[in-house]
Structures are given as C-alpha cells and as structure tokens.
Structure 1
C-alpha cells in the first residue's frame, strides 16, 4: 500500500480567489486591442502560463503581433494584475483552505505549493499563507507550464517524497493532466465536465479532511 505523505496545492482557485483579477486584467487588455474577452473565454486560461494565456487571447481576437509586442502586452497585463493583488489580504483565502492546511500539518503531512504564477510569493505573503508550506514551487522556478508535470515533480523532489506519495489539489484541467503525468493522485476542485479525470471531486476545500483523503485515495 502506498501511503499519502504530502499534499501539493495549486494557488489560484484552490487556496485564494485571484482568478477574478486575472480575468479583469485580460479583459482590459482585450478591450484595448478592440475585442471582447468573456468569462467563458477565460476558462481556457485556467492553469495556463502567462504567455500561453496571451496566445489564447490573441487567437480569440485573431491577432498575430510580433514577439516584442507580445512581451509588452504580457507585461502590461501583469502590471494591472500585480496592482490588484498587492491589495489582497487574508479575507481572500477560500473557504476551508486554512483549516485543511492546518489539519494536514497537524497530521504530519508535508505541504507544497505548485503554481504557474510568477506572483505567488506576493499573494502568499499578503494573505499570510507562506508559513503553511514546506516547499514553494512557482512560475519563477519552472520552465514548462502545466499540463507539463514539472511543477509537481519539483514539489515532490523538494519535499523528499516519490510522486506516488503525493496528492495534488487542482481546479484546472491542465493541472489535473499535469498531476496524472507526474504519477500523482489528484483532487479536483470544481465540476466533472472539466475535471472528470481527477481521482476525487469536491466543490471546495470545505469538503476535505485528512481522514477523507486517506480513506478515499488509498492505493494498494
């Protein structure tokens, strides 16, 4: 039997409510470029890196700028986003997240962050979440975006456990796929229509407990 020894958490949409700030920044960029970017369009960007997100947005707008222009656009969007998250506080931690992180640590489970965000440390510090993690792997430490498993494999390596001993918590299809490619079990936070490949589905971390985790995700 393979025991669960560590939990690796995505950030946006799992622990904190930053998705709205990403969406508003992308929507503002699209408006400046002359087209509409809807919440439905934004679903394609979940768990995707900044430049890959920009490529999706530009595809929606049927635009094909040169590389230097794309870099400027990505920087502009990120500046708007950073301005928003710089005002975050602990009130934006999602329901159940703090309680479950505390429970994991009290039961001896190691915890890591596995996020594509290059602004993860700003968010963690502003919300007071930094001390809850034994390892923090973010977009500044990875070269490949999800669904590549790099971010989760680095998390497992830094914690000192095999992929089979780790469980990932994700709200994005690309993140679920990354966890599967890493050889890790995965809890999806959201709907079955996009996260159906997860080993366990919940609507929020309010539904999660260490007891349930160990009971429902045991692998012989």
Structure 2
C-alpha cells in the first residue's frame, strides 16, 4: 500500500534561507567581547542546537564561567544583535530554488508548513517576502522540545490537517532528519549524503528537487 504525499514541511535555516552566517557573526562578537575568539568550525557544531546550549558550549571553549543570570543576559544580547541583522534581510537571500519549489507545491495542491526551532521565523519570512507561501507556521514560539524530538513536525502536520505519513520534511541537520523519521515522515536531506545518512533522499538544495521526485518517495 502506498501513501500519497499531501504536504511538505520545511526547516527554515539552511533550507529556505541561510541565517547561520548571522548567528555566527553575533556569537563571534559576543566571544570577542568576552576576550576570546570563535571559529567557523566551532559554529558548525552549533547547528540545530538551542541558544542556551550554544552559549554553554561557547563559554566552555573560551574557558569562561558565568552565573545563570549572566548567561541569560549574554544570550539575550547575542539574540538582539542577531535580530538587528535579520531585519536587514532581503528576498535576494532566499536559497536557490526555494521560492520556486514552494510555489510548485502550492500549484500542485500540496500543503506547505514551516517547522523551525527559530523564534524569529516570521521576521525572516516577512523580510524575504515568502510568508504567504506557507499554509501553517510552527516555530520556536510553539514548541517546547527540540529536534530530534518530532514535536515541531507533528504540530505542522496537525496544523495542515494531514497524517504524518503523508508528509515530507526538508531538513539540513542530522537532528532534523531524525525528528522527521521519529515522527513517521519521509525526510529529504539538504546537504551531503555522507552526513544525512538517515534521509530518504539527499539533494544539495531545493533547486535540485521536483514535485515528481517527492511523489515518488
């Protein structure tokens, strides 16, 4: 028995837009103010990691100890810088093929949802001009458990009124692919097949995938 795919759920960062550079710049600024440096290699290790946990890792790398209250203040400062940067985003920052694929989904009757840990997703979608291409948006303001827990994707399916088995998730992080599989969904990895080994299909970007490919999953 084959299940018909009725919906596509997209992670935001690394799939639709690449805001990792802004996270990196904000964390680096914070590290520098605390008297140490923060590298791009270290930044890679923060993919899909919460803001609080990211700060703990960075302080550990820098050998800096802060109280719980100070950590809250530092995380807030970093986020304020990040928000300032994403408020300058433009439609030119949508990753290749993302807008076209979202439009194709809608034109063929597939429902679309965003499933992101970001609490700033609406700001980003509005700045790049594609908020209207999603039927539902589930982000860090709506979920309590991080990926690989499937909560964000299950809530996305629920908001769209479709069964998890009828959804395909697009993710660039290992934890995100695992979250999709944990929720009983198909997963398309955006990135390297060597890294995203659990995905049903791996492509380099949404410009490399078609509606036909999705329906064949």
Query: TM-score range, shorter-chain basis?
Result: over 0.9
For the pair 1:210 / 2:194, whether they are aligned, the reply is no
Output one character per residue of 1:20-72: Cα deviation in whole Å (capped at 9) or x when no partner: 10111111111122222111111111122211222222232233322111111
Please name the residue that 1:98 is paired with: 99
Contact 1:173 1:195 in 2 (8 A): yes
What is the distance in 2 between the residues matched to 1:162 and 1:80?
39
Please name the residue that 1:73 is paired with: 74
**CA 1:52 to 1:103, structure 2 compared with 1: closer, same or farther past 3 Å?**
same
Structure 1: runs of 5+ lacking an equivalent: none
Q: CA RMSD in A?
A: 1.1
What is the distance in 2 between the residues matched to 1:173 and 1:63?
29
Q: TM-score, normalised by structure 2?
A: 0.96
Q: TM-score, normalised by structure 1?
A: 0.94
Please name the residue that 1:19 is paired with: 20
What is the distance in 1 between the residues matched to 2:50 and 2:21?
16
Please name the residue that 2:54 is paired with: 53
Greater CA deviation, 89-98 or 188-197? 188-197
For the pair 1:152 / 2:153, whether they are aligned, the reply is yes
What is the distance in 2 between the residues matched to 1:151 and 1:185?
15
**CA 1:39 to 1:193, structure 2 compared with 1: closer, same or farther past 3 Å?**
farther
Please name the residue that 1:118 is paired with: 119
Size of the aligned set, in residue pairs, is 216
What is the distance in 2 between the residues matched to 1:8 and 1:62?
39
What is the distance in 2 between the residues matched to 1:198 and 1:71?
35
Shift of 1:206: 0.6
Please name the residue that 2:182 is paired with: 181
What is the distance in 2 between the residues matched to 1:176 and 1:61?
30
Please name the residue that 1:28 is paired with: 29
Contact 1:90 1:128 in 2 (8 A): yes
What is the distance in 2 between the residues matched to 1:28 and 1:51?
16
